Amino acid sequence: MDIIFLGTSSGTPTKARNVSGLALLDEAGGDWTLVDCGEGTQHQLLRAPLSLMRLQAVFITHVHGDHCYGLPGLLASAGMLGRSAPLPIIAPAGIEAWIRSTVELTRLILPFELRFLATESLDRWERGNWVVEKAALSHRVPSFAYRFTEASTEARLDVGKLEAHGIPRGPVWGQLRSGADATYEGRTLRSSDYVYFPNRPRRIVVAGDNDRPALLRDSCKEAHVLVHEATFTKDLAEGPAKGFGHSSAAAVASFAESIGLPHLVLTHFSPRYQADADRSPSMEDLRREAMAHYHGKLFLAEDLARYRLDKTGQCSRVSE
């Protein structure tokens, strides 16, 4: 499963970073899912291998504009490009009324159906090989995390056992591997006796804005990757920016360390943090602060960067 960041700035865009948006897709590409859709997200799509025709669903973490103001334009473009497949939009209450009135007031004619589901009433949502669940966070408005878990992983045959039991290579092997029981020379062979699953289901948690990372303790069980905002360094988050409802790099990193999380991806950085490490404050301040508290694999997300969580549960940056 790959993650492509479409926006990693908080509040306002910068020349290098758009506001929030993130795509989840298979290694092979093609079908993808969008989490948050800040203004300009559709422009970022033009620079990524992502087509609005292959968009499977949109998830919105909370109603703040830097996470959703890109939706009307993106939907209109999908319509103009000829999309006809219905589009599920899982979003907090309020987004549906806003989008429906915008569609009506701007006389937007969409050639595809919008299927809204309020995050508040989301229990479990399945599509393809992925199961999505939510967790409530703490922010100035209701904010949520979405947890994506692989529904099933690749099955392997216990070849040694098959050979030891005198079952020759052939259709019976395929049947057992697919999960079905089989018959061979009058014997009933149970799939579960000959199949094993070497990899744990992959799990990625994508959080919205949140000032209490510990709320994700349950959701992050068995998670391989957590994507979480680190809008500020600690001095700001606990000083002048206290009350904005955001986390510091230190707070998220400490939480990730406390649960033994293997990969942490920070995003949603205040535009004040500059790329040039010689300036102050800089992205390096955020990185240093996070590294002081976390010993797993740490990434500071960048726009259009692509990260891959492979089948064995290892995450690394693959391009851009």
Contact footprint for Zn ion (CB under 5 A): 10, 66, 209
Write down how long the chain is.
320
Nearer to Zn ion, 66 or 150 (CB): 66
Side chain identity, residue 256: A
Q: Is 306 within 8 Å of 315 (Cβ atoms)?
A: no
Residue of 2, 36, 66, 285 marked active site? 66
Nearer to Zn ion, 68 or 162 (CB): 68
State in angstroms the smallest separation of the CB of 33 from Zn ion. Answer: 19
Torsion, CA 306, CA 294, CA 237, CA 218, rounded to 10: 80
Nearer to Zn ion, 119 or 149 (CB): 119
Is residue 66 among the annotated active site residues? yes
State in angstroms the smallest separation of the CB of 229 from Zn ion. Answer: 7
State in angstroms the smallest separation of the CB of 66 from Zn ion. Answer: 5
State in angstroms the smallest separation of the CB of 38 from Zn ion. Answer: 8
Taking CB atoms within 8 Å and a gap of at least 24, the contacts of 115-120 are 115/86, 115/87, 115/88, 115/89, 116/88, 116/89, 116/90, 116/91, 117/88, 117/89, 117/90, 117/91, 118/91, 118/92, 118/93, 119/59, 119/60, 119/90, 119/91, 119/92, 119/93, 119/144, 120/92, 120/93
Nearer to Zn ion, 132 or 137 (CB): 137
Catalytic residues: 66
